[in-house]
Amino acid sequence: MQPQVFARRRRELLRQMPPDSVAILPAAHHPIRNRDVEYPYHQESDFYYLTGFAEPDAILVLRKSGRKGSWGLFCQERNRKQEQWTGERLGTKRAISRMGADQAWPIESWLEQLPDLLTGTQQIFFNLGEESSIEQGLLRQLREFRQRNRSGAVVPQTIHLLDPMLHEMRLYKSPAEIRIMRRAASVTVAAHRRAMRACSPGLVESGLEGEILHEFSSHGVRIVAYDTIVAGGNNACTLHYINNSEKLRDGDLVLVDAGAEVEGYAADVTRTFPVNGRFTTEQRKLYEIVLAAQRAAIQQIRPGRRWDTFHRAAVRVITRGLIDLKILKGDPEQLIKDEKYKKFYMHQTGHWLGMDVHDVGNYQLDGKWRPLEQGMVLTVEPALYIPKGVRGVAKKWQGIGIRIEDDVVVTDSGCEVLTAEAPRSIEEIESLMAG
Ligand code: GLY
Ligand code: MN
Ligand code: MN
């Protein structure tokens, strides 16, 4: 992403902020895993959205003095000795010369600078509740102002969450963001195709996960958007199964939910296919229901349709399909009203997708499901889960979990499925696995 993009986003946020306000946004903390080993670092998405800066120990400050906006960055200062171990840092000088910050300070001086940053400011935008040392420092400073401020200086009276403004911005993806998401989608599609080709009975679930990661790495992608799910047979009925430790069995299906993260944007794709390359009769019948539900849902995605419309379309197809197979009995409308499908399909048909796999953005406005608009990106992921031992269902259907998940962008007149190249129909899957 070009630096101008981040500058434009900061300007837009500043435009929306009231006069004499300040927004404070810390970078993600870098937790230790054990001893000298750290968890892989991942920047906080809001912070990255506004800066494109991937280092830890940093704080973004946006200030509006009167109507004039400026921004500053607290960051790690350059330090040759430490950089020898952990790599190059940007440092404060280059935060100004390269990133275009109006001001930059070493992160250690944050508490010292805080009174100056807040004086003359009436409102603060800060996401409370993270319980970070930065939040504690800020709250301590405000208490100090309350107790000692007899000089008449203007000090903040109100704290707002930053989320509502920022997350509404993040919900609408620009053409440049969609181009990146298209790349995340295409790497992810290649990984799913590779997993289908590599699958055979006896392979451990983690072996198939390895195929996914291999494909990601070979495209230069080292970050998964979320932990890869490889769930054989009954394991697919656990929605977020990530043990990936069991052998894949002949005659079972396997559910693979995997997505690459490219330049900070996630893909989120699920495919379900037979371990041995051929669907059984029962698997085929259930799979066709989920596939038809997905088709019906995708048909509903266009500007103006409310968020719940595509979910309701999927629920209708799933309920009718389960009645046809005698897994549910009764009147379809009544069964839908009573939410009887929830025993086998207990999640929503999608979620916003973007920098976070479950991306930010409200689903409702003023108590009503919001209409879809051009530039919104979402997943469409109907499913059926019939675990072993479930009551009232013939044994032949049990131990089967199927989810089909694609990433969809709302266009001016309909939608585009970014991940359509990952085989979805029974014929496509069987033919790829046979080859
Ligand atoms: N991969 C998580 C989800 O599908 O929502
Ligand atoms: Mn999803
Ligand atoms: Mn998923």
Asked whether residue 154 carries a pLDDT value surpassing 90, the answer given is: no
Residue 211 in contact with ligand 1 by CB distance below 6 A: no
Q: Please write the tens of the pLDDT for every residue from 361-392.
A: 999 999 999 999 999 999 999 999 999 999 99
Q: Which residue, 426, 412, 404, 189, is CA-closest to 314? A: 404
Which of 357, 377, 408 has most ligand 1 atoms within 8 Å of its beta carbon, as the pocket-test mutant? 357
What mean pLDDT is predicted for residues 23-38? 94
Residue 268 in contact with ligand 1 by CB distance below 6 A: yes
Give the count of domains, the chain. Answer: 2
Take atom 3 of ligand 1 and give the residue whose Cα is closest: 268
Work out the end-to-end distance of the chain between its first and last CA atoms, rounded to an integer number of angstroms: 38
Residues 286 and 430 in one domain: yes
Residue 269 near residue 405, CB atoms below 8 Å:
yes
Take atom 4 of ligand 1 and give the residue whose Cα is closest: 268
Q: Give catalytic residues, as residue numbers.
A: 36, 240, 257, 268, 347, 351, 358, 381, 385, 403, 405
Q: How far is the CA of 56 from the centre of ligand 1 (A)?
A: 27
Residue 242 in contact with ligand 1 by CB distance below 6 A: no
Q: Please write the tens of the pLDDT for every residue from 386-434.
A: 999 999 999 999 999 999 999 999 999 999 999 999 999 999 999 999 9
Residue 226 in contact with ligand 1 by CB distance below 6 A: yes
Asked whether residue 234 carries a pLDDT value surpassing 90, the answer given is: yes
Atom of ligand 1 nearest to the CA of 270: 4
Residues 267 and 393 in one domain: yes
Take atom 5 of ligand 1 and give the residue whose Cα is closest: 358
Q: Is the dihedral of CA 48, 54, 57, 61 positive or negative?
A: negative
CATH code of residue 131: 3.40.350.10
The pLDDT of residue 159 is: 96
Residues 257 and 277 in one domain: yes
Measured N-to-C along each axis, helices 133-148 and 110-118 cross at an angle, to the nearest 10 degrees, of 50
Asked whether residue 130 carries a pLDDT value surpassing 90, the answer given is: no
What mean pLDDT is predicted for residues 237-257? 97
CATH code of residue 407: 3.90.230.10
Asked whether residue 166 carries a pLDDT value surpassing 90, the answer given is: yes
In the listed set 106, 140, 169, which residue is the last one of a domain according to the structure? 169
Atom of ligand 1 nearest to the CA of 259: 1
In the listed set 139, 169, 199, which residue is the last one of a domain according to the structure? 169
State the average pLDDT for the chain: 97
Residues 228 and 325 in one domain: yes
- 3-state secondary structure (DSSP) of residue 217: helix
Q: DSSP for 266-299, please give it.
A: E--EEEEEETTS---HHHHHHHHHHHHHHHHHHH
Residues 146 and 191 in one domain: no
What's the pLDDT band for 342 if we cut at 50, 70, 90? Answer: very high
Residues 184 and 81 in one domain: no
Q: Please write the tens of the pLDDT for every residue from 99-128.
A: 999 999 999 999 999 999 999 999 999 999
Centroid of chain to Cα 302: 21
Residue 252 in contact with ligand 1 by CB distance below 6 A: no
- Give backbone dihedrals phi and psi of 339, rounded to 5 degrees, phi first: 55, 40
Phi-psi region of 343 (alpha: psi -120 to 50; beta: other; left: phi over 0): alpha
Strand partners, 195: none
What's the pLDDT band for 150 if we cut at 50, 70, 90? Answer: low
Q: Please write the tens of the pLDDT for every residue from 76-88.
A: 999 999 999 999 9
What's the pLDDT band for 148 if we cut at 50, 70, 90? Answer: confident
Which of 224, 268, 347, 348 has most ligand 1 atoms within 8 Å of its beta carbon, as the pocket-test mutant? 268
Atom of ligand 1 nearest to the CA of 381: 4
Residue 257 in contact with ligand 1 by CB distance below 6 A: yes
Cα–Cα distance between 405 and 37 in angstroms, integer?
Answer: 35
Residues 378 and 429 in one domain: yes
Residues 227 and 365 in one domain: yes
Asked whether residue 149 carries a pLDDT value surpassing 90, the answer given is: no
Residues 255 and 323 in one domain: yes
Atom of ligand 1 nearest to the CA of 405: 4
The pLDDT of residue 131 is: 79
| Domain assignment of residue 382, given as a range | 172-434
In the listed set 153, 169, 185, which residue is the last one of a domain according to the structure? 169
Residue 408: nearest ligand to its CA?
2
User: Which two structure tokens, joined as six digits, stand for 88?
Assistant: 């190059």
Residues 207 and 148 in one domain: no
User: Which pairs from 307-310 meet CB under 8 Å and 24+ separation?
Assistant: 307/363, 307/364, 307/369, 307/370, 307/371, 307/372, 308/369, 309/369, 310/349, 310/350, 310/380
Residue 52 near residue 1, CB atoms below 8 Å:
yes
Residues 281 and 161 in one domain: no
User: Which pairs from 313-320 meet CB under 8 Å and 24+ separation?
Assistant: 314/349, 314/380, 314/382, 315/341, 315/345, 315/349, 317/289, 317/292, 317/293, 317/382, 318/289, 318/290, 318/293, 318/344, 318/345, 318/382, 318/384
Residue 172 in contact with ligand 1 by CB distance below 6 A: no
Q: How far is the CA of 165 from the centre of ligand 3 (A)?
A: 27
419 CB-contact burial (10 Å; exposed 0-12 / middle 13-18 / buried 19+): buried
Residues 159 and 176 in one domain: no
Residue 242: nearest ligand to its CA?
1
What's the pLDDT band for 155 if we cut at 50, 70, 90? Answer: confident
